[in-house]
């Protein structure tokens, strides 16, 4: 069975998530090299396939260089960084029934101004601002609702969300791109 875009996306996403978790407090001296080393672990099961070796791994190397530079610049404005955070809130439906909204945020940042940023990594095309505003792609807005209600551990209720952004990681030209909503 041929490898899919989901296989590539999972390897990239897992590597970025592991890097962000491991270096949440301080970047290593050579972030691109550290990310490539972490990426080797997640790409290893795919490397027996020629398309992974010839196309996907070189793209990941370009992503690692771009991400390291983006990360270093972004860290100047952060007080705290959390990766792969699970959150939930309960939404009452009737007096005796409720609905639990759950999410896993790829990245939550507490910025120097005290607001929070929610970021989602995408290896495909991220939704447009219009799609998000129309409710067709509600992931980040629902994560923002969970955050404001105190549904992510360690983040107090009524915290302000100052930014929602997609981080596109394609490995093409450009290899990465931040799209703020």
Tell whether 92 and 144 lie within a shared domain: yes
Q: Output DSSP code: residue 98.
A: E
Among the three residues 75, 102, 131, which one is the final residue of a domain in this structure? 75
- Alpha-carbon distance of 16 to 54, in angstroms, equals 20
What pLDDT score was predicted for residue 1?
65
3 state SS of 28: coil
What pLDDT score was predicted for residue 68?
96
Q: Splitting the chain (181 residues) into consecutive groups of 10 residues, what average pLDDT does each group show?
A: 78 94 94 96 86 85 96 93 94 93 96 96 89 89 96 95 95 92 89
- Alpha-carbon distance of 117 to 137, in angstroms, equals 17
45 burial level (CB within 10 Å; 0-12, 13-18, 19+): exposed
Tell whether 93 and 172 lie within a shared domain: yes
Tell whether 138 and 100 lie within a shared domain: yes
3 state SS of 12: helix
CB atoms within 10 A of CB 19: 24
User: How many domains is the chain partitioned into structurally?
Assistant: 2
At 111, which CATH number? Answer: 3.90.320.10
Among the three residues 23, 57, 75, which one is the final residue of a domain in this structure? 75
Tell whether 133 and 153 lie within a shared domain: yes
Tell whether 35 and 89 lie within a shared domain: no
pTM for the model: 0.90
Among the three residues 19, 41, 75, which one is the final residue of a domain in this structure? 75
Tokens of 127: 């939704």
Domain containing 19 equals 5-75
Among 69, 53, 71, which residue's Cα sits nearest to residue 11?
Answer: 53
């Amino acid at each position: 069975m041929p490898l899919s875009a989901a296989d590539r996306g999972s390897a990239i996403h897992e590597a970025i998530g592991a890097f962000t978790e491991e270096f949440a407090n301080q970047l290593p001296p050579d972030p691109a090299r550290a990310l490539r080393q972490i990426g080797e672990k997640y790409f290893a099961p795919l490397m027996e396939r020629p398309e992974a070796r010839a196309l996907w791994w070189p793209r990941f190397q370009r992503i690692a260089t771009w991400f390291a530079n983006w990360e270093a610049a972004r860290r100047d404005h952060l007080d705290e960084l959390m990766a792969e955070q699970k959150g939930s809130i309960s939404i009452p439906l009737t007096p005796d029934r409720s609905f639990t909204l759950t999410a896993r945020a790829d990245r939550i940042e507490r910025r120097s101004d005290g607001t929070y940023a929610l970021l989602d990594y995408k290896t495909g095309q991220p939704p447009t601002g219009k799609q998000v505003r129309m409710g067709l792609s509600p992931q980040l807005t629902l994560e923002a609702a969970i955050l404001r209600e105190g549904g992510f551990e360690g983040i107090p209720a009524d915290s302000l969300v100052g930014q929602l952004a997609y981080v596109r990681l394609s490995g093409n030209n450009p290899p990465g791109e931040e799209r703020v909503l």
